[in-house]
Structures are given as structure tokens and as C-alpha cells.
Amino acid sequence: MMAHDDALQRAIEALAIRSVDLADLRTQMAREVRLAAPDPDSLLMQGRHGVSNAQWVEVSPGAVDSDKALLLLCRVSVGLRVVHRDRSDPEDDSLLLVEAEFDAEYGADERIDDADVEAFTKHNVVYHVWPYWRELVQSIVSRTRFPAPVTVPHYLAASRRRREKSDESNPEPSDPIAR
């Protein structure tokens, strides 16, 4: 685990975020939602996210507004759908579907090891894209007038989830002297 943490730290120190841009968007709302608003308690939200691609691009001086010689371009794929909780095959019964791809761009002075890039894409890239994804979903829900609340939760980085899980399994002693 320590080597992974070291790889992530090296990547954090070497990479500087430049931009997050929407690259692709697909949205669909079932017609039945307009005809009869579903009971919010009968709905289930499903989501997915991940980095689908990361590649290095060499930058010519003056080609882009950057003082860095290299860019790491990361494609992040995210999706959310709302289905009826009690339907037997939710694959065919999406009431609302939102899928998007974002490009996250990072500047670097030099290439870093593949292990460092892998650690960074696993832990940080989706975290950087997440606020843009949340805003996009809220905008689409509003513009489609989807009749039930749809909220994308806050994104917790994997290391934070591990810490919180560890804290739950190893509670601090209640006696302040024992600390």
C-alpha cells in the first residue's frame, strides 16, 4: 500500500490541472414520466464512473495556453439512470438516463511513471470531474422537468473511504486517558 501512496503523491506533485471539459453527452427521459409523475419512493438511482483513457500529448510552445511541455489527457465516463425500484428488468425501463464523458487535462514538465499515472487516474481524476458532473445532472434534471428529486452524491476518494471504514472498525477508546 505504501508504494501506491508514494506513486499517487509523485503524480500529485508532478501534475497540474488545466481544465475539465464536457466531451460527450447523452440524455433521455421516458415519455411515461410526462404522463404520470412517478412516486419518488418507488425510484432507484444507479450510477457509474471511471477513467476510460489517459494519454500523454506533447505541446508545442505557443500551441496552447500552457507553460508545461506535456499534457496528460484523461477521458472520464460517467452515467446515471433512474429506474422503477420494483421492475423486474430495469435495463429496459430507464425513466431518466444521463451519460457523459469529460476530458480532464493536466500539465506536466516531464512524463511520470505509468504506475504514478495509474494511481492518479484511479484516485484523483474522477474526483476533479465530479463537481462538473453533479452540476450537469442538476441542470439536466431541471431542464427536463423530471418530477422527482435526483441528487448526485458527493464523491469520496477511495483513500478517504478506507480511512472512514478503518475508523468504524477501530473506534477510539471512550476513556480519554487511554488515548
Instruction: Give a yes or no: residue 177 inside a domain.
Output: no
- Residues whose CB falls within 8 Å of the CB of residue 156, separated by 6 or more in sequence, listed in order: 164
Domain count, the chain: 1
Structure-block grid coordinates of residue 127: 474526483
Would you say residue 175 lies in a domain? Answer: no
C-alpha cell at 11: 503524480
Residues 43/59, Cβ–Cβ less than 8 Å? no
Whether 64 maps to a domain, the answer reads yes
Return per-residue pLDDT of the chain as tens, 179 residues: 566 689 999 999 999 999 999 999 999 999 888 888 888 888 999 999 999 999 999 887 666 665 668 999 999 999 999 998 887 665 567 899 999 999 999 999 999 999 999 999 999 999 999 999 999 999 999 999 998 888 887 776 654 444 455 445 444 433 333 32
Number of neighbours of residue 126 by Cβ within 10 angstroms: 22
Amino acid at 66: S
Query: Is 121 part of a structural domain of the chain?
Result: yes
pLDDT score of 17: 95
pLDDT in the model for residue 99: 97
What does DSSP assign to residue 172? P
Residue 111 DSSP symbol: -
For residue 179, tell me if it sits in a domain. no
| Per-residue model confidence (pLDDT) at position 150 | 87
> Please, are residues 130 and 160 in contact by the beta-carbon 8 Å criterion?
no
Say if 41 falls within a structural domain: yes
Full domain range(s) for residue 37 = 2-168
Give burial (CB, 10 Å; 0-12/13-18/19+) of 95.
Answer: buried
What pLDDT was estimated at residue 178? 32
Q: What is the pTM of this model?
A: 0.79
Is residue 160 one of the residues assigned to a domain?
A: yes
Pairwise CA distance, residues 102 & 20, whole Å = 7
User: What CATH number is associated with residue 19?
Assistant: 3.10.420.10
**Does residue 174 fall inside a structural domain?**
no
